[in-house]
Amino acid sequence: REVKLYSEVHHLEKKNLPEETIARYQELKDRILTLGDVDVIPRKQYIGFKLKTNFVDVEIRGYFGLTMPPISV
């Protein structure tokens, strides 16, 4: 059985995504990574963000309906 490896590129290029969706994903990823030593784990259906366990799973779709307020550090 062949093991397939996935990447963020797989998710961001698989569908003809609007630039806004890609930009919002990148903004979300940047904010998540400020939380510490977070691993980005691309899977077949989603991109996981993991500390000890996955705490965020992101499934990329054509429309990214998320409003993110500013983060105060």
The pLDDT assigned to 19 comes to: 85
pTM above 0.85, yes or no: no
On the question of pLDDT at 64 being above 60, the answer is no
Query: In which band, very low, low, confident or very high, does the pLDDT at 73 lie, cut at 50, 70 and 90?
Result: low
* Other Cβ atoms within 10 Å of 45 Cβ, number: 10
pLDDT digit string (tens) for 12-53?
887 678 888 888 899 999 999 999 999 999 999 999 999 988
Distances (CA, A) of 34 to 1, 7, 23, 46, 53: 37, 21, 17, 20, 17
CA–CA gap between residue 65 and residue 29 (Å, rounded)? 15
